[in-house]
Amino acid sequence: MDYYRELTLQNGQTCILKTASADDAADVLRNLRLTSQETDNMLRCADEITLTEEQERVYLAGVERSSDAILICAVVDGVLAGAAGFNPVGTAERCRHRAEFGISVQRKFWGMGIGTAALAAVVDAARQAGYEQLELDVVVSNRRAIALYQKFGFIKYGLHPGGFRYRDGHYEDLFLMLLPL
Ligand SMILES: CC(C)(COP(=O)(O)OP(=O)(O)OC[C@H]1O[C@@H](n2cnc3c(N)ncnc32)[C@H](O)[C@@H]1OP(=O)(O)O)[C@@H](O)C(=O)NCCC(=O)NCCS
C-alpha cells in the first residue's frame, strides 16, 4: 500500500510520512532496536530483534506489495524517527475485518506530533484496506500511548493481567484497546 505525506511538526521541522520500502530495512531495524531499548513498553527486548538486514528487506518488500498490511516511516531531516503500521490479525475469514496496530517513535522525537500524524496515516490506510477494527495491547502504565490512542477514539475493551513478564521477574498488565473504523 502506498502512502506519502509531508507535514510540519510542532517545532517547525518537516516530517515525511511514507510507506517503508526494502531500502529502509537498515533504518527500520535500527528504529526497532532503539525504541525497544528506550522503554519497557515494546513487545520484544532489543536483543530479540535478530532479523538480518536482508531478511528485513524481504519482509518490507512483501509488506509494500500487500494490500492488507502497511508500515509507514516518519522521516525527520533525513532520519527515520519512528514507524507505525498494521498487519492482519489472522487469515481466517471470521477475523479478516481486524488489523493489529503497532507504533514506535524514538524518545528524542517524542512530543512533536509524530505519533499523532503516524496514527492518523495508519487509520486512513486501514480504512482504505477495508478493515473494520484496529486493535492493540498496551502496558497499563504507558500513559503517553494510551492518551494518543484515546485521542483517536480507541476504547479499552479488556485487561490482560500479567500480559508482559520481564526478565527481572515482575509482570505488567496490558489494556486491550480497539478502534472501530
Ligand atoms: C506512544 C508514542 C508513539 C507517542 O508518540 P509521540 O510522537 O510522542 O506522540 P505525539 O507527540 O503525537 O503525542 C501524542 C499524545 O501523547 C500525549 N502526551 C504527550 N506528552 C505526554 C506526557 N508527558 N504524558 C502523557 N501523555 C502525553 C498527548 O495526549 C499527545 O497528544 P496531544 O499533543 O494532542 O495532547 C511514543 O511515545 C512511543 O513510540 N513510545 C515508545 C513505544 C511505545 O510505547 N509504543 C506503543 C506500544 S503500545
Q: What is the pLDDT of residue 4?
A: 95
Contact in structure between 88 and 96 (CB atoms under 8 Å): yes
Domain count, the chain: 1
Name beta bridge partners: 86: 70, 101
State residue 134 phi and psi, 5-degree precision.
Answer: -115, 130
Do residues 116 and 109 make contact, with C-beta atoms less than 8 angstroms apart?
A: no
| Pocket perturbation via mutation, ligand 1, pick of 13, 144, 178 by most ligand atoms within 8 A of CB | 144
CA–centroid distance, residue 100 to ligand 1 (Å) = 18
Q: Is the CB of 81 under 6 A from ligand 1?
A: no
**CATH number, domain with residue 68:** 3.40.630.30
Whether 85 is in the pocket of ligand 1, judged by its Cβ within 6 Å, is no
Bridge partners (DSSP) of residue 35 are none
Inter-CA distances, 92 with 32, 41, 99, Å: 28, 29, 12
**160 Cβ inside 6 Å of ligand 1:** no
> Does ligand 1 come within 6 angstroms of the Cβ of 148?
yes
Mean pLDDT estimate for the chain:
97
CA 31 and chain centroid, separation: 11
The sheet that has 98-105: what strands, in order across it?
4-8, 14-19, 70-76, 79-88, 98-105, 133-139, 171-180, 155-165
Cα–Cα dist 110/90, whole Å = 31
Q: What is the pLDDT of residues 111-166, one digit of tens each?
A: 999 999 999 999 999 999 999 999 999 999 999 999 999 999 999 999 999 999 99
Q: CB–CB of 44/36 below 8 Å?
A: yes
For residue 100, what pLDDT band results from cuts at 50, 70 and 90? Answer: very high
Q: What's the average model confidence in pLDDT over 89-111?
A: 97
Give the Å distance between the CA of 144 and the centre of ligand 1.
4
* pLDDT over 90, % of the chain: 98
Q: Quick one: pLDDT band at residue 15, thresholds 50, 70, 90? A: very high
For the Cβ of 122 lying below 6 angstroms from any atom of ligand 1, the answer is no
111 within ligand 1 shell (Cβ under 6 A): yes
Q: Which long-range contacts (CB under 8 A, 24 or more apart) does 164-170 make?
A: 164/40, 164/139, 166/40, 167/45
Q: What percent of the chain has pLDDT over 70?
A: 100
Domain that holds residue 16: 4-180
pLDDT band at 86 (very low <50, low <70, confident <90, very high): very high
| 99 pocket-lining for ligand 1 (C-beta < 6 Å) | no
